[in-house]
Amino acid sequence: MDIFSQIRNSSQWVFYLFGLIALLAYPSFANNFFVFQIGALSLILGMIALSLTLLAGYGGMVSLSQMSIAGLAGYFLALFGESNAVQSLQLAPIIAVPAAIILATLVASFFGLLSVRTEGVYTIMITLAVGVATFYFVQQNYVIFNGFQGLSGILPPTVFGTNFKDPVPFYYVSLMCAVLAYVFVVSLIRSPFGVALQGIRDNPRRMKALGYNIFLHRIVTHSIAGALAATGGVLLAWFNGFVSPGIVGVDAMINILIIAVIGGLNHPIGGFVGAVIFILLQNFAIDLVGSDRFRLLVGCVFFLIVIFSPNGLIGVGSKILNWAKKRPKASEDKMGMEVIKVDDV
């Protein structure tokens, strides 16, 4: 049974339908700032956080290198496609975009090879190390990556007279990629491969005894997550119009982790929820608390989420829904209605 039939056969289809309609109608009642700076950027960062959710939430592998993969995809796009880079090949977007995503996915697979044989904090440390190494690699390489200044002039293409640099077309491109990524991940985690991956997360020794190739499952998951992060990285390069070492820095890596945790690592939609919250705080909370205290504010939010709701805001929503479902039943019991227990039947 695929994801579409599952949605149709449950009450969740109403939520998905209204959510999609709201996202499609969003540009019609929001100005360009909210469409581009809030909507599009939230979708892009949500995609990158989704790749971390797949690794950490369903694979048990907390990777801090997802933003490094996204940033490298942006660099590869600048080198393959149209940009101001001296070394740019100036290839058409139909060639440059897939080439950038494929090459970044290969890098993600290599990062996975370095980390899949470790668990827990060791995985975090190795992925942090390769992320920092990536930062210094692009920062100190002036011949290819132009060092600290980065590469600029990365613009979305114009297709059939539609300039995707404009806020509304770019938003719809980001929305299309985000929806496809979400549907793909949901289908994947409910497939036999996804079920096996979650089994490896919970008890790798037992899954190995059952004949599953743990190493291969983890490498493939790293590759898939890398492709998701690379797609988000291409969109992020178009969004900014440039790439620089800051996009693969430690701050950027930690931001993706914060986004995923705030939203919730136990559901694919969590990355997008966390991205919206993070972008809103980044755009509006700075005016209230100042740029110097913004990190403190984000840290406090992160701390509260971890302490009171380890499943993120999605977990909070689930608790509220469960409470709402149980409340009518409790009210009936208090009114004196007879409650028949299963044991009494």
Q: Across residues 129-145, what is the average pLDDT? A: 93
Domain spans of the chain, in order of start:
29-310, 314-345
Digit-coded pLDDT (tens) for 177-234: 999 999 999 999 999 999 999 999 999 999 999 999 999 999 999 999 999 999 999 9
Tokens 């975009």 map to which residue? Answer: 97
Q: Across residues 337-342, what is the average pLDDT? A: 43
Reference 215, options 119, 129, 106, 107; nearest CA is: 119
Q: How far, in Å, CA of 337 to CA of 275, rounded? A: 46
At 153 the three-state DSSP class reads coil
Q: How far, in Å, CA of 273 to CA of 285, rounded? A: 17
Average pLDDT score, the chain? 87
Domain 29-310 has CATH 2.60.40: no
Digit-coded pLDDT (tens) for 82-102: 888 888 889 999 999 999 999
* Environment class of 205 (CB within 10 Å of its CB; exposed 0-12, middle 13-18, buried 19+): exposed
Q: Across residues 30-50, what is the average pLDDT? A: 95
How many residues in total does the chain contain? 345
At 10 the three-state DSSP class reads coil
Reference 200, options 184, 182, 212, 185; nearest CA is: 212
The tokens describing 254, both together, are 């930690």
Task: Supply the pTM of this predicted model.
Answer: 0.89
Residue 166 CB coordination number (10 Å): 14
Residue pair 23/172 in contact (Cβ under 8 Å)? The answer is no
